[in-house]
Amino acid sequence: MSAANSKPSVHISDHDKVADQAGSGSYVANFEAKESPLERFKKFLHKYPVAAPTIVLILAIIGFSAIIGDRFLHPFNLSLILQQVTIIGVIGIAQTLIILTAGIDLSVGAIMVLASVVMGRMAIDHGIEAWLALLIGIGVGAITGLINGSLITRFKLPPFIATLGSWNVFFALNLWYSKSETIRSQEIANNAPLLQWLGETVTFFGARLTYGSLLMLALFVLIWYALNWTAWGRHVYATGDDPAAAKLAGIRTDRVLLSVYVLAGIVCAIGAWVLIGRIGSVSPQAGYTTNLDSITAVVIGGCSLFGGRGSIFGTLIGALVVGVFRNGLALAGVDVLWQEFTVGILIIVAVGVDQWIRRGKA
Amino acid sequence: MTAHYDQQPILQARSIVKRYGSVTAIDHADLTLYPGEILAVIGDNGAGKSSLIKALSGALIPDEGEILLDGKPVHFNSPMQARELGIETVYQNLAVSPALNIADNLFLGRELRKPGILGSVFRMLDKRAMEERAQAKMQELGLMTIQNISQAVESLSGGQRQGVAVARSALFGSKVVIMDEPTAALGVKESRRVLNLIKEVRDRGLPIILISHNMPHVFEVADRIHIHRLGKCAATITPDSHTMSEAVAIMTGAMEVNSDPVAA
């Protein structure tokens, strides 16, 4: 009994002693003095989530240019990498929004393909004006997002399950509506060239950029603005970070979630337009790996799967890291299977780093 | 003390009843808060004090009874409505978002937008105005051992986080601040700072309802103590009129009192 009593009193007096030594003003300073360089690096990564993927990107570019040489650093090759990551980049924007709310969307690829099929069939088979066909496609994207969002906010399904289900549903609808037929590139070029417009290129200093790539960059800037400079963006982060706290602070978290899923659906439909520009045709089988590739870009870009942490530009960097590794390994003549291997390692390392950063923060 | 017992009560609950099925959580409870005072609410677990507080903060709709704010009857259907009328609540779990910074947290859900077209059309946040007001409020409350207003809340200690939550309530609360167990999770030194902070808020004119289990803290800061028992007010005492053990005795039913030192 006496031992049990004495223990806490020792603890309390220790606490006071330490607190007195620290004084009132120097609390924080004392903390920093004890930090090792590793701790400081960890804090730096925690504060700037884009730092880690940026370091990897720079090292990869230096590494590949040392191995491969000028062929890798040629503006033409760099712009090719940008073209190759454009679709993943756009879909990655949608995925980032959702992962910031601590959700995940497995249906992004299916939404993109469904929207592209709707755009193509509306313009070609139904003879609707191309711009209107685009708008209808974007409307389909918004509706699919609304369905996902409703399943999650109204029926309280976990995002993983809700979108696993809707992925299959949207993919089946896409096969049904397209009758599993591809609309050929020539047909689109003759009847609705607007659908392919994002595939056209402009040349800057030997680099050929597609309008699709430029649109992707514009979308990144737009969403960055919305996330960082509007109340809605703060609410997205707060909802992902701690939904209970956000609710107590007066945020209608269900509305925020719903808006995020609808916006993600719209962004995926814009991705559908980019997709048609990139491959020329409209195929119900296109973009099958986009789901997982978009998650890969987000994770490598430093976004936490637990929500509330990460930057939209991290996803762009993440997509570029994947693009640089694939391109570099291909140019180096390495078998394709090692590309997959490398991307896999990158994902594991990225999530490992995220866990390390989140653990034991001061 | 700065309390004004001759004035009209700022917040009054009259004969509040809340039933959950056959259980009566609040049984014709009364509560009176005067301008400029700290009213502590104590009671055993299950006495119904948190239900009463929820009714006052709008998180719960009572079945019977009325709530008067400045003498006028009010009805809250949500915490937002109570908040719009100037009643702020500091929740036990703080309701701060760890990844956001101090200024973002102070204005979470009530952000300021830039004036003109940037704010109205582009919905652009006025980050500078929010940071300045946050800084000023933290300084005013003596919380500027927190060095940087743009540091993430997760990098703060428990007491500093409590400070952020209290600063938020002081920033927006125009009538009443309700604090639920503000020192429960804190160490000795930090509890002291938070108690001083509570007095600081009171001295700036905001009356406070303080829910706490910690008798020494209650007796240190409270002007009056509302003792809740079996769903209603068993007594209202002051730290001078009764001792701590008497308060506990009333709380547990070992002693019966029926005097309000103010009303009587």
pLDDT tens for B238-248 read: 999 999 999 99
Alpha helices in A23-107 (DSSP H): 27-33, 37-47, 51-68, 70-73, 75-100
For residue B3, pLDDT beyond 80? no
Cα A235 to Cα A217: distance, rounded to the nearest angstrom: 24
Residue with tokens 């993983």: A160
Q: Would you tell me the crossing angle of helices A51-68 and A37-47 to the nearest 10 degrees?
A: 100
From chain A, the residues in CB contact with B143 under 8 A are none
Q: How confident is the model at residue B148 (pLDDT cuts 50, 70, 90)?
A: confident
A19 touches chain B (CB under 8 A): yes
B45 in a domain, yes or no? Answer: yes
Of the two residues B114 and A287, the one the predictor is more confident about is B114
- Predicted confidence at residue B259, as pLDDT, reads 54
Helix (H) / strand (E) element for A18: namely helix A2-22
- Predicted confidence at residue B144, as pLDDT, reads 63
B118 touches chain A (CB under 8 A): no
Please give the residue of chain A at the shortest CA–CA distance from B120. A230
Strands A201-204 and B87-90: unpaired
pLDDT tens per residue across span A41-51: 888 888 888 88
% of chain B residues with pLDDT over 70: 94
B153 in a domain, yes or no? Answer: no
Number of separate domains in chain B: 1
Of A234, A242, A249, the CB nearest to B98: A242
B216 touches chain A (CB under 8 A): no
B110 touches chain A (CB under 8 A): yes
Of B79, B111, B187, the CB nearest to A234: B111
B71 in a domain, yes or no? Answer: yes
B124 touches chain A (CB under 8 A): yes
Vertex B188: Cα angle to B184 and B192 (nearest 5): 85
Mean pLDDT of B201-206: 89
| Domains, chain A, ordered by start | 45-358 (1.10.3470)
For residue A52, pLDDT beyond 50? yes
Q: How confident is the model at residue B146 (pLDDT cuts 50, 70, 90)?
A: low
Find the length of chain B. Answer: 264
Mean pLDDT of A109-118: 96
Q: Which residues pair with B220 in a beta bridge?
A: none
pLDDT tens per residue across span B74-89: 998 888 888 889 999 8
Of B93, B99, B146, the CB nearest to A241: B99
Q: Give how far B75 is from chain A: nearest CA, Å.
A: 18
Q: Give how far B264 is from chain A: nearest CA, Å.
A: 38
Test A234 with B100 for CB contact under 8 angstroms: yes
Mean pLDDT of A316-326: 95
* Contact criterion met (CB below 8 Å) for B66 and B10: no
Cα B14 to Cα B166: distance, rounded to the nearest angstrom: 27
**Which domain covers residue B184, as residue numbers?**
11-95+174-252
For residue A34, pLDDT beyond 70? no
Name residues 101-160 of chain A within 8 A of B (Cβ): none
Q: Which residues contact A355 (CB under 8 A, 6 or more apart)?
A: none
Quote the mean pLDDT of chain A: 88
B107 in a domain, yes or no? Answer: no
pLDDT tens per residue across span A121-163: 999 999 999 999 999 999 999 999 999 999 999 999 999 999 9
Please give the residue of chain B at the shortest CA–CA distance from A9. B188
Cα A156 to Cα A149: distance, rounded to the nearest angstrom: 10
B22 in a domain, yes or no? Answer: yes
For residue A29, pLDDT beyond 60? no
Cα A257 to Cα A243: distance, rounded to the nearest angstrom: 10
Quote the mean pLDDT of chain B: 87
Q: How confident is the model at residue A324 (pLDDT cuts 50, 70, 90)?
A: very high
For residue A20, pLDDT beyond 80? no
* Contact criterion met (CB below 8 Å) for A110 and A171: yes
Q: Give how far A147 is from chain B: nearest CA, Å.
A: 26
- Predicted confidence at residue B14, as pLDDT, reads 92
B66 in a domain, yes or no? Answer: yes
- Predicted confidence at residue B2, as pLDDT, reads 55
ipTM of the complex: 0.83
Vertex A260: Cα angle to A255 and A264 (nearest 5): 150
Mean pLDDT of B91-112: 87
Residue with tokens 């040392």: A66
* Contact criterion met (CB below 8 Å) for B201 and B193: no
B140 in a domain, yes or no? Answer: no
Test B124 with A229 for CB contact under 8 angstroms: yes
For residue A4, pLDDT beyond 60? no
% of chain B residues with pLDDT over 90: 34
Of B105, B145, B154, the CB nearest to A25: B145
- Predicted confidence at residue A25, as pLDDT, reads 41
DSSP string over A107-139 = THHHHHHHHHHHHHHHHHTS---HHHHHHHHHH
Termini Cα distance of chain B: 19
- Predicted confidence at residue B162, as pLDDT, reads 84
pLDDT tens per residue across span A237-248: 999 999 988 988
B80 in a domain, yes or no? Answer: yes
Cα B27 to Cα A96: distance, rounded to the nearest angstrom: 50
- Predicted confidence at residue A15, as pLDDT, reads 42
From chain A, the residues in CB contact with B100 under 8 A are 234, 237-238, 241
Mutation target for B interface from A222, A227, A228, A229: give the one with most B CBs within 10 A: A229
pLDDT tens per residue across span B186-202: 888 888 888 988 998 89
Q: Which residues contact B211 (CB under 8 A, 6 or more apart)?
A: B40, B41, B42, B49, B50, B53, B178, B179, B180, B181
Highest averaged pLDDT of the listed ranges A223-232, B51-60, B168-177, B211-220: A223-232
Q: How confident is the model at residue A22 (pLDDT cuts 50, 70, 90)?
A: very low
For residue B58, pLDDT beyond 90? no
Cα dist from A89 to A164, A214, A268, B65, whole Å: 21, 11, 11, 58
In CATH, what number is assigned to the domain containing residue B66? 3.40.50.300
